Structures are given as structure tokens and as C-alpha cells.
Amino acid sequence: MRTKIVATIGPASNTKEKLKALAEAGVSVFRLNFSHGGASDFVKIINYIREVEKEIGRPITIMQDLSGPKIRLGVVPEGSIQVSKGMELLLGPTDKRTDEMAYLPFDHEVIIESLEPGDRMVLADGGLQFIVRERRKKDGLVLLVADNEGIVTSRKGLALPGKSTRVKALTDKDKKDLEDGLKLGVDAVAISYVQTAEDVREARALIAKSGRKVPVVVKLERQSAVDNLDEILKETDIVMVARGDLGVECPLPKLPALQKHIIKACNAASKPVIVATQMLLSMVNNPAPTRAETTDVANAVLDGADCVMMSEETAMGNFPVETVQYMSKITTEAEKLLEDNRTLEEPSSDKGIPEFLAYSACLLADKAKAKAIVSHSLSGGSARQVSSRRPPQAIYALTPDPSTIKALNFVWGTTPIFVDKGQVQKTHLERAEEFIDRSPEFEVNDCAVITAGQLKDSSTPRGTNLVKIYWK
């Protein structure tokens, strides 16, 4: 299995025994959803994961997922409102409530002020849809017309498909959760409802202020984020195709094309990409997935996903371990097809040296029938470049940076290996050769392709600048 698995932790999986079983089944990254708690709620789980990590002998990454500005209705005094198609309702602040007609309390005045006639508003993940008829001049309340029938209850999530708002991605709660999570030792941070590259820069600044170095995962949930994808990719480390909210923001028939577009852009930028939401949802209650789910997971791998993620399946489901086992089997089979259909394409002339070095490494590995590609770097960038070309060979990424080790758990086909930085007398190339010589994964006369930084005059290498064929 070369596709990485991300599993969300919840009541169904928060014991040490379950966490170990999930890791042994193939989980590389555990997601902690801070929408359902604060740092204090995850202390025990983080400690369990670190114990499991030591017991199984491989690195496990902990990803903190910040809740973001989830936009919700206020409290509906009636408890619920039965809505019929064509029904008129008013939307406005709680303290401006009127008995003129059915009233939806909503205390985000910035958003209210941005609404215009014709805007579409969605509640309960698409269950209820409304059209804005007008924003009344006399009191500032918004007149809505229901586009379907359903029941409105308190605190329902609200979305405005296709509309950019001035709400920042990081709330005060997120900033506090981020500070606390970094102190607890999380390895990656996911930010929700990103709209612009500035949202990413704000998160990076807060992380830098803490003194920690962890990768940022951008969750693409809004059309505005997709529109700004190129700029966001320049700032982020990892991307998540968060199909739940994205499927509300964008018409569902367009979602498969959007997924392919995002993955292709991430692959081109050598940025790991996670596909998430409802991948094996039926396994919350069933011991096996549906045929459609199986196909969905396989297609995500064939599209170029580095990781596949489970939410309810492992957080609340009745079969969390079995779900991961199925996910592993499906991705393994898809990878065989990926290998069969792979073509190694030369980078376009506008690409830089890293892309051509990665291409050269993969080309040499194919021609020499190498068993593996071994990459030594501080940042893991060369391993990501190689991985983006989806070589059939195993990829071993050597680094002396513990934070890079954890970040590489998001990278397809890559096994991160920690090397001792204290061996200052050894070059990156020498460390790579030593790894091959000592590793039981390589037999005598096995061939490997090495990418590394070549030292010059005992100075620190400025990046990967060497590709070498090496026989054990």
C-alpha cells in the first residue's frame, strides 16, 4: 500500500487498543477534530498515539483540524420551523426578531450585509435551500423564499454557495486551539474554510511565533478557495479536498471534475493532496463498503491522491478497523492499475531544476530496473518531487529533521527514514549509500537510484543537485 490513510479519532477509536489496531491496519495520520473539543480533550489520545508509535516502530503523524468559522443559525425559539416550498421567511439578528412571519435568527451581520437578491443560501449541508428575494431597507432584514421543503432547527450550519464572504478562516477559538495543540506536540495543522492565500500566511505566522515547524493543510471547502487555488498552493504544504462542504458550495454534478482539477494542480506543484468525506460512509453501520464507495476510493487513487481520509467511519462507526483494512485493500488494487497505466513524462521547459532531477531519477530507476529511489534532504522536497511522478519503485526519504519525517507521512509511496544529524563527517550521499548497505530491504547486487545534495568545499548543500545509480 503506497497511498496514505488518514483516520479521524472519535468515540469508536479513542482507546490505545483501537489506535494501535488502526495503525497496524495501515493508518499513517490520525486526525483530531477540534470542532468537537479543545486541547484538553485530546491530551490522553495524543499520549496513546505516541506510545503506539514506539510500539509499532514507525512514525505516526497527528493532524490537528481547526474548526474554522462554521456559520450557524442562532436558537430557534419555537424549537423547529416546518418549511414548505415557496414559503417566505425572514433572516436577521436575534435581537431584531419580528412576528411578521417565520424568522431565522442569524447573528453574523457582516454576512447579512453582503446578501443580495438572487443569492442562494443552504442549510443543513444542502437539506434546505433558499433564495434571497431582498434585503429590506426599512430594517435590514433579509427576505428569503424556500426552494424546497424541510424542517429548520437551532444551530443549523449555513452556506452561501459560490459567494465570497469577509469571514476570516481563523477564529479566536482556532488561534487558542492552535497554540494549545502546538504545545501538545501535534505534527500538522489543518485550517478550515480557507478563501485566500492570506488565510494560509496568517496560520504560518502563528505557527512560526510558537517556535514550532509543522506543515499547514488547507481544506478546500469554498468556491473562492478553488478560484484562488494557484496562489494558495504557493503558500500551503498540503491540500485537502473536503468534499462535504465543497459539495454544498458547488453543484454536486461538478464535484468530480473539481476533485480532478484540484488533484492535478497539487500533483503539478508536488504538494500532497488528501481526498476526504464519505469515502466508505456505509461502513459506519456495515462490515463492507458499497460498490460505489469502492470505486470512489479507487478513482481517487487513479486521479493522483496522496492520501484518502475517513471521518465518521473511524470516529463513530461500528467497524473502524475493518474500514481501514478495506481502504488498504482497495488502494493497493488501484495502485496496480496506476502502475500499469503510468507514463513518465518529461517536465515542460518552464519547470525548474528540482523537477528535472526528479524526472531523471525516475528515468534512471526505470532503465536500471532499480529496486528503490533513495532521497536524502532536509525538507523532504526532493522526495515529494519524485513521488509526484508516481514511480513503481519504493521511495525512501532520508532526513535528519523530525518534523520532516512527520510531514512525509502525507506523501504517496514514501517511507520516511530518520538519519542522525550528528554524523557531520558524512555527506548526504554517504548516508544514503550507508542506508542501502545496512537495510534488509536491499539484497546484494540490488540497484537503487539516489538523489542528494552534493557538498562543495565542506559547505552545506543548497538543495538536491545529484542523482546516482548505486549497487549494494
Is residue 399 flagged as an active site residue? no
Q: How far is CA 302 from CA 16, 218, 263, 297, 345, in A?
A: 33, 22, 10, 9, 16
* CA–CA gap between residue 45 and residue 22 (Å, rounded): 13
Catalytic member of 2, 4, 31, 390: 31
Active-site option among 196, 236, 277, 414: 277
Amino acid at 382: S
From the candidates 72, 133, 260, 472, give the one annotated as an active-site residue: 72
The answer to whether residue 212 is catalytic is: no
Cα separation, 188 vs 357, whole angstroms: 28
What Å distances lie between residue 222 and 6, 225, 226, 245, 255, CA to CA? 22, 5, 7, 7, 12
Residue 414 annotated to the active site: no
Q: Which of 409, 78, 40 is nearest to 214 (CA)?
A: 409
- Cα–Cα distance, 198 to 214 (Å, whole number): 18
In whole angstroms, give the CA distance from residue 271 to residue 276: 16
Cell of 347: 517536465
163 is catalytic: no
Residue 306 Rama label (left phi>0; alpha psi -120 to 50; beta): alpha
Catalytic, out of 135, 156, 219, 406: 219
Question: How large is the C-alpha radius of gyration of the chain?
Answer: 24
Cell 500500500 sits at which residue? 1
The residues carrying an active-site annotation are: 31, 72, 219, 277
